[in-house]
Amino acid sequence: MTRRVAIVGVGYSDFRPATPDVAFHEMMFEAAVKAYEDAGVNPRKDIDSFIACSEDYWEGFSIFDEFVPDQLGAVLKPVCTISADGMYGVINAYLQIRTGAFDIVAVEAHSKASDIVNMWHVMAFAFDPIINRPLKMHPYVIAGLEMMKFLKDSGNTEEHCAMVVAKNKKNAMKTPYASYGSIISPEDVLTSETLFHPLKKLDASEFVDGAVVIVLAAEEVARKLTDTPIWIKGVGWCTDTPWLEFRDWSRAVYAEMAAEMAYKMARIHEPAKQIDFAEIDDKFSYKELQHMEALRLCRKGEAGLLVEEGVTERDGDLPVNPSGGFLGVGNPLEAGGLVKILEAVLQLRGEAGKRQVPKAEVAVTQIWRGVPTTSGAVVVLGRE
């Protein structure tokens, strides 16, 4: 029961808001080749299992799993699709290796959001078809409502949310794969167009295209492949409820429960002290605050204060989203979790260049599946 699992290779394609020059399988190929090179593995000989993460409606196919194997070097191999974020794929790869039946597993997820001409309609298809869809609401109405309830209950403010946006977009200026880096002030956010009160245009992340591949290996194999294996110390994931009518609108219960599971496994009792930096879901600015509290990186109601005091800056005591998060990198749909893990791996290896955080021994990564879901995952990574 003690078979440890490490990340031994990461690779990503160019992340851009639009990629008319490449098809999804070309992006996947690029990410896969880089990840296999990074890990020093041959997919046809060495990799025992492949996991791709996708949702059919994002792809415009009925069974997207069909289109996965060739460009990953996975033809006639165990390949499957997890219909969820890439972080779920990493968790399942981890579980597969822990059984003892697999030594090396590769995980892929990508976004071709720019191909989706009717994004809001596609997202609205996730609403319950009988109870909610007839209301014909924009999916971000959910985010506006939740933001209002969260701010009211937690005592955080719209200004705190605006500071998160300014911080993340500034961080993204130094991230080579980030598309939405900029130097803006919190006032710019507060004065941007209101989407669904109190949610402003700049509170919401923009979509981006890109692919990420991550290679995981069992301990004995990982030590042979690399001098800097990044260990998976804890995993957790959770679905609260699909019902808009019954969910908790102020707390991210899914993130609380997923974090508890992952922390227990990683023996983390005081996350705020034991974790050096966090890459967490910020599809909307308030979500970063809500998730910081759910992950016990601060006390309830104090996330905004930490942001205000600069604690979550890249050079602060607890850097949050040093990559720039989704607000800075862009929201790559199901590849979101892999972007979080990619950044954490680069930081933990000390390969993050100009955006390297000062202390990087233990990181927490977290993802939420976006509106209207209450599902998410947490992975704790470390150098030891």
Partner 1 sequence: MIIKRKVAVVGAGLTLFRRRMQETSRELAWEATKMALETAGIELKDVECVVMGSAPDAFDGIHMKGENLADGCGGWRKPYTRVFVGGGTGVFVPIAAWWHVASGHFDICLAVAEEKMSPCHPHPQWAFHTIFDPILSRPLGVNLIWIFALEMHRYMYKYGIKKEDIALVSVKNKANALDHPCAQLAAKITVEDVLNSEVLVWPVQRLDISPITDGAAAIVLASEDVAKKLTDSPVWIEGVGWCLDSRYWTNRDLAYPKYVEYAARMAYKMAGIHNPPKEIDVAEVYDPFDYKELHHMEGLLLARKGEAPKLTKEGVTQRDGDLPINPSGGLLGVGNPIAAAGLMKVCEIFWQLRGEAGKRQVPGDPRTGLAQAWGDLMQIGTVIVMRA
Q: Measured from the CB atom, is 69 or 181 closer to partner 1?
A: 69
Return the structure tokens found at 263: 């922390």
Q: Measured from the CB atom, is 181 or 242 closer to partner 1?
A: 242
Q: Measured from the CB atom, is 51 or 357 closer to partner 1?
A: 51
Shortest CA distance to 307 belongs to which of 111, 115, 171? Answer: 171
Q: Measured from the CB atom, is 106 or 307 closer to partner 1?
A: 106
- How far apart (Å, rounded) are the C-alpha atoms in residues 69 and 296? 39
Return the structure tokens found at 317: 């005591």
- How far apart (Å, rounded) are the C-alpha atoms in residues 355 and 343? 10
Q: Measured from the CB atom, is 124 or 195 closer to partner 1?
A: 124
Q: Measured from the CB atom, is 64 or 286 closer to partner 1?
A: 64
- Other CB atoms within a 10 A radius of the CB of residue 176 amount to 11
Q: Measured from the CB atom, is 18 or 61 closer to partner 1?
A: 61
Residue 23 C-beta: closest distance to partner 1, Å: 9
Residue 56 C-beta: closest distance to partner 1, Å: 5
- How far apart (Å, rounded) are the C-alpha atoms in residues 34 and 19? 19
What is residue 346's three-state secondary structure? Answer: helix
Shortest CA distance to 163 belongs to which of 321, 40, 24? Answer: 321
Residue 305 C-beta: closest distance to partner 1, Å: 29
Residue 239 C-beta: closest distance to partner 1, Å: 4
- How far apart (Å, rounded) are the C-alpha atoms in residues 183 and 165? 10
- Other CB atoms within a 10 A radius of the CB of residue 25 amount to 16
Residue 33 C-beta: closest distance to partner 1, Å: 18
Q: Measured from the CB atom, is 366 or 375 closer to partner 1?
A: 375
| Helix H or strand E segment including 8 | strand 5-12
Residue 184 C-beta: closest distance to partner 1, Å: 32
Q: Measured from the CB atom, is 98 or 170 closer to partner 1?
A: 98
Residue 131 C-beta: closest distance to partner 1, Å: 11
Residues that bind partner 1 (CB under 8 A): 1, 3, 55-57, 60-63, 65-70, 74-84, 88, 92, 94-96, 98-101, 122-123, 125-126, 128-130, 236-243, 253, 257-258, 261, 265, 369, 373, 375
Residue 72 C-beta: closest distance to partner 1, Å: 10
Residue 29 C-beta: closest distance to partner 1, Å: 13
Question: Is-contact 31 335, C-beta < 8 A?
Answer: no
DSSP 191-242: TSPEEETTEEGGGBPPB-BEEEEEEEEEHHHHHHH-SS-EEEEEEEEEE--S
Sort 22 into a burial class: Cβ within 10 Å, 0-12 / 13-18 / 19+: middle
- How far apart (Å, rounded) are the C-alpha atoms in residues 290 and 285? 9
Using the Cα atoms of residue 218, residue 43, residue 58 and residue 112 in order, give the sign of their dihedral. Answer: positive
